[in-house]
Structure 1
Amino acid sequence: MEWVKYANLGLRFIMELCALFAIGYWGFHTGSGYVVKIILGLGLPMLAAIIWGMFVSPKASIPTTGFIRLLLEIGVFGAGGIALYAEKHYKLALIYGIVMIVNLSLTYFWKQHAA
């Protein structure tokens, strides 16, 4: 059973990367002009990564717990799903959303969020 918990943590990391990629993908395809595309495509994923690193990661400089942490996790993961949906990748957004809900549920059920 331990391997399933480790697999859930691995999936969580992959989902973090997917969220950053999806946000960047949306950013590069939104807006007009190269400067705006670069700012959105690089800046928004960087902002999401900074928020994750400061408040949610295991070695967060300002660790959060409980409801605030859950909101931040849903915010970053959800932004990835919304970005996929906005780019008309509806099936991928749905799959991502389902995996996000299952992963977050298992993370909190197994108390992996404190690790």
Structure 2
Amino acid sequence: MKTIVLTAFFLLELIAMFAFGYWGYHIAGTVKIIIAIVVPVCVMVIWGMVLAPKASYAVFSYPTRTGLKLVVFALAAAALYTSGQHAYGIAFLILSILIIVTVFINDWHKI
């Protein structure tokens, strides 16, 4: 069970990065390709520095980091929703909440 949840958590991270890129590409204007690349890269850098299990700047406790990950996932769901992918945005948010709750219930915060 733990392996399945942790794999799903990792897939959520990848989908979130895709969602930010998709959102960036669907912004009107001539800079959409730049935004589609820069926004996910910035999120990845911040994730790696602050939210990853072996983060460079682990200034938050594991439960706090898990809560902040939910915020990132919620922003990714909002990005999908605002780019016209309403069903995917809602489904991603619901799945993110279910996985985060599973992590909290089983005390697997070190992910």
Q: Distance in 2 between matches of 1:92 and 1:22?
A: 10
Q: Which residue number in structure 1 is paired with residue 7 of structure 2?
A: 10
CA positional deviation for 1:79: 1.7
Q: Distance in 2 between matches of 1:56 and 1:111?
A: 17
Structure 1, unmatched stretches of 5+, are: none
Structure having the larger proportion of residues in helix:
1
Of 91, 106, 110, the residue aligned with 2:102 is 106
Question: In the alignment, residue 102 of structure 2 is paired with which amino acid?
Answer: L
Number of residues of Structure 1 aligned to a counterpart in Structure 2: 110
Structure 2, unmatched stretches of 5+, are: none
Q: Distance in 2 between matches of 1:47 and 1:80?
A: 13
CA positional deviation for 1:78: 1.3
The alignment-based identity, stated in percent, is 33
Deviates more, 1:75-84 or 1:97-106: 75-84
Q: Distance in 1 between matches of 2:10 and 2:62?
A: 20
Deviates more, 1:57-66 or 1:14-23: 57-66
Indicate the RMSD between aligned Cα atoms, in angstroms: 1.5
- Name the SS of the counterpart of 2:11 in structure 1: helix
Q: Which residue number in structure 1 is paired with residue 36 of structure 2?
A: 41
Q: Does 1:65 align with 2:72?
A: no
- Structure 1's consecutive aligned runs of 4 or more residues displaced over 4 angstroms after TM superposition are none
What TM-score, normalized by structure 2, do the two folds share? 0.89
